[in-house]
């Protein structure tokens, strides 16, 4: 019975076993006396990179593309496939851009790579989770790895604080999520997302729908919902709040700036790129597929508007680079939630496009931040006169910032344009209006980077060491994608359309 399951879960199984072998290799090698206990973070990082690459190959060449696995606990379809590919590629990019960091800070424990691999595994499971319990367990495994790597720099107070804060608020949000799941289970009696989808479809469309079921069953379900809808509503609300905590949407964003600023830079890069992908995937699965229901939509509209406004205004007064990027990512979560709150196929498609472009831009910007960290790049003013000391990097940075701000021919403009277009198409005029307004406001601080780099003369000139090959290739590639996206956007459109269709149909 499980033969096909093992075959279909081969990428995940491979990644788990490879991670375990790497752990043993790392611990034996780093404690052995013959090798003089040399720190081998970089070695493990390269091996981990190879593991993820092989996982990617296994995933792409996998013969089973559509299946329900392990007693309906996991699902494989087009949607999960594309999301997993995206997740693995962005993990590869994150590890690539951290390699120089590991060389400079040789004291970094090799376990952080193991934990990154482990959380990647759990995010792969999270993307294909098809049951509330499987979903919760995958989220917990991922967050446990994150708590540890956030606090991994033991001699830094900021890192410890970030880890503690992340742990407390993460545990709190997981508790809320779990309470929501138990409410849903208590009032419907199922945890499987497909079963939930059946129940909610009948509730949403009533007996007049085309769902061909016996009228008796329909009547009992209707009766059931009239008496239980408040409990189910509470469950949905709590699950939504738990997820909004995890993706740092606004009323629940308090931890994000501190955690992003406090944890080591490579961890921040990982946090702001990779988990967003997995969480958005499972949120789409849960809310669009299972709970297709207007009750959560108002909450998401509110969070979207609030995130956009706070992301725009709070970032105005930031002086530290990582904190500013944290607020900017909060704002971008707001933009992503626009696509969410439409609930149409166009909305989901525009969300997926925006997610792809957000990841691309964030990889680029964090590669720059990591490249400039030699002299403790901390404040925005440290970018001063970068245009004179390193003109190509300054140009890259300014193009990325223009793209973040949404200046026309760049990729960021396309993503925002399609989001607003989808919002207008489904009649969410207020959201589109606020989105345009906040994107104009946020131009101010994105373009301030350009002003600082090109026109300011700083008091102290900071000279940065040249970056390594991996980061420069990454920067070149992402910059190429950002700049020339508008010339040939159709592949991305086709892929995202296919994903949205396979989710909704």
Partner 1 sequence: MEFAPISVYLVISLLLSLILVGVSFLFASSSNLAYPEKLSAYECGFDPFDDARSRFDIRFYLVSILFIIFGATVSNQVILEVTFLFPWAVSLKKIGLFGFWSMMVFLLILTIGFIYEWKKGALDWE
Binding residues (CB under 8 A) for partner 1: these are 2, 20, 23-24, 27-28, 31
Instruction: Identify which of residues 24 and 36 has a Cβ nearer to partner 1 in the complex.
Output: 24
Q: How many Cβ atoms from other residues are within 10 Å of residue 486's Cβ?
A: 14
Q: Which is nearer to partner 1, 20 or 392 (CB)?
A: 20
Nearer to partner 1, 25 or 46 (CB): 25
Is 31 or 61 the residue whose CB approaches partner 1 more closely?
31
3-state secondary structure of 412: helix
| Closest approach of partner 1 to the CB of residue 109, in Å | 10
Taking the complex as a whole, the smallest distance from the CB of residue 365 to partner 1 amounts, in Å, to 35
Among residues 27 and 64, whose Cβ is nearest to partner 1?
27
The residues that bridge with 320 in the sheet, in sequence order, are 379
Q: Select 18 or 354, whichever has its Cβ closest to partner 1.
A: 18
Cα 441 to Cα 450: distance, rounded to the nearest angstrom: 16
Give the integer Cα–Cα distance in Å for 332 and 337. 9
Give the nearest distance from C-beta 256 to partner 1 in angstroms: 28
**How far apart, in whole angstroms, are the C-alpha atoms of residue 450 and residue 394?**
8
Alpha-helical segments (H) within 372-489: 386-389, 391-405, 411-425, 429-455, 469-484
What does DSSP assign to residue 381?
Answer: G
Relative to beta strand 67-69, strand 74-76 is antiparallel
Q: Locate 40 and state its tokens.
A: 């081998």
CB of 504 to partner 1, least distance (A): 35
How far is residue 87's CA from residue 96's CA, in Å, rounded to a whole number?
A: 14
Q: Which two structure tokens, joined as six digits, stand for 352? A: 């997926």
For partner 1, the closer of residues 134 and 357 by Cβ is 134
Distance CA(180)–CA(242), nearest Å, equals: 8
Q: How far is the CB of 351 from partner 1 (least distance, A)?
A: 36
What minimum distance in Å lies between the beta carbon of 2 and partner 1?
8
Instruction: Find the shortest distance in angstroms from Cβ 13 to partner 1.
Output: 10
Spatial neighbors of 266 by CB under 8 A, at least 6 apart, are: 94, 97, 98, 101, 102, 370
CA nearest to 270, candidates 447, 64, 5, 93: 93
114 or 321, CB closer to partner 1?
A: 114
Kindly state the smallest distance separating residue 23's Cβ from partner 1, in Å.
Answer: 6
Q: Tell me which residue has tokens 């000139």.
A: 461
Cβ contact 339:426 at 8 Å: no
Both tokens of 243, joined, read 């997820």
- Enumerate residues 6+ apart whose C-beta is below 8 A from 399: 410, 479, 482, 483
Residue 484 corresponds to which tokens in the numbers above? 């020339």
Q: Considering the complex, what minimum distance in angstroms separates the CB of residue 171 from partner 1?
A: 16
Residue 464 DSSP class: P
Dist CA 290 CA 306 (whole Å):
25
CB of 27 to partner 1, least distance (A): 4
**Cβ closest to partner 1, residue 110 vs residue 420:** 110
Q: Which two tokens stand for residue 396?
A: 């890259």
Distance, in Å, from the CA atom of 235 to the CA atom of 229, rounded to the nearest integer, reads 10
Which residue lies nearer to partner 1 by CB, 28 or 392?
Answer: 28
Considering the complex, state which of residue 143 and residue 364 has its C-beta at the smaller distance from partner 1.
Answer: 143
CA distance 240 to 158: 30
Distance in Å, CB of 31 to partner 1, minimum: 5
Instruction: Give the residue among 70, 80, 84, 77 at the shortest CA–CA distance from 192.
Output: 70
């Amino acid at each position: 019975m499980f033969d096909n399951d093992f075959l279909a879960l081969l990428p995940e199984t491979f990644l788990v076993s490879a991670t375990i072998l790497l752990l043993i290799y790392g611990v034996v090698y780093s404690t052995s006396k013959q090798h003089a206990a040399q720190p081998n973070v970089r070695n493990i990082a390269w091996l981990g990179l190879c593991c993820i690459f092989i996982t990617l190959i296994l995933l792409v060449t996998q013969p089973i593309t559509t299946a329900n696995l392990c007693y309906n606990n996991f699902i494989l379809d087009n949607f999960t496939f594309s999301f997993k590919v995206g997740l693995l590629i962005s993990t590869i990019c994150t590890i690539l851009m951290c390699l120089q960091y590991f060389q400079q800070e040789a004291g970094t424990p090799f376990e952080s790579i193991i934990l990154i691999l482990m959380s990647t595994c759990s995010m792969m499971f999270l993307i294909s989770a098809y049951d509330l319990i499987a979903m919760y367990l995958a989220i917990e495994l991922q967050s446990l790895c994150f708590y540890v790597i956030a606090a991994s720099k033991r001699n830094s107070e900021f890192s410890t604080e970030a880890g503690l804060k992340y742990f407390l608020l993460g545990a709190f949000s997981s508790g809320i999520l779990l309470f929501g799941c138990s409410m849903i289970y208590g009032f419907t009696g199922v945890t499987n997302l497909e079963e939930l989808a059946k129940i909610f479809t009948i509730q949403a469309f009533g007996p007049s729908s085309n769902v061909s079921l016996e009228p008796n069953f329909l009547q009992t379900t209707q009766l059931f919902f009239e008496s239980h809808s408040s409990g189910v509503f509470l469950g949905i609300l709590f699950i939504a709040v738990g997820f909004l905590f995890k993706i740092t949407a606004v009323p629940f964003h308090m931890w994000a700036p501190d955690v992003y600023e406090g944890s080591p830079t490579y961890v921040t890069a990982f946090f702001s790129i990779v988990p967003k992908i997995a969480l958005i995937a499972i949120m789409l699965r849960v809310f669009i597929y299972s709970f297709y229901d207007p009750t959560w939509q108002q909450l998401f509209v509110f969070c979207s508007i609030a995130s956009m406004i706070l992301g725009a205004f709070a970032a105005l007064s930031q002086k530290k680079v990582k904190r500013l990027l944290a607020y900017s990512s909060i704002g971008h979560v707001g933009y992503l939630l626009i696509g969410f709150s439409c609930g149409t196929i166009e909305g989901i498609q525009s969300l997926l496009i925006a997610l792809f472009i957000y990841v691309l831009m964030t990889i680029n910007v964090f590669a720059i931040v990591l490249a400039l960290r030699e002299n403790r790049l901390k404040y925005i003013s440290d970018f001063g006169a970068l245009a004179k000391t390193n003109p190509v990097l300054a140009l890259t940075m300014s193009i990325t910032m223009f793209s973040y701000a949404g200046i026309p021919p760049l990729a960021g403009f396309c993503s925002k344009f399609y989001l607003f277009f989808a919002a207008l198409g489904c009649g969410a005029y207020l959201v589109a209006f606020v989105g345009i307004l906040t994107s104009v406001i946020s131009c101010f601080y994105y373009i301030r980077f350009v002003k600082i780099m090109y026109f300011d003369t700083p008091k102290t000139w900071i000279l940065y060491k040249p970056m390594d090959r991996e980061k420069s290739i990454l920067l070149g590639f992402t910059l190429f994608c950002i700049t020339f996206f508008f010339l040939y956007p159709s592949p991305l459109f086709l892929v995202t359309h296919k994903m949205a269709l396979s989710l909704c149909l």
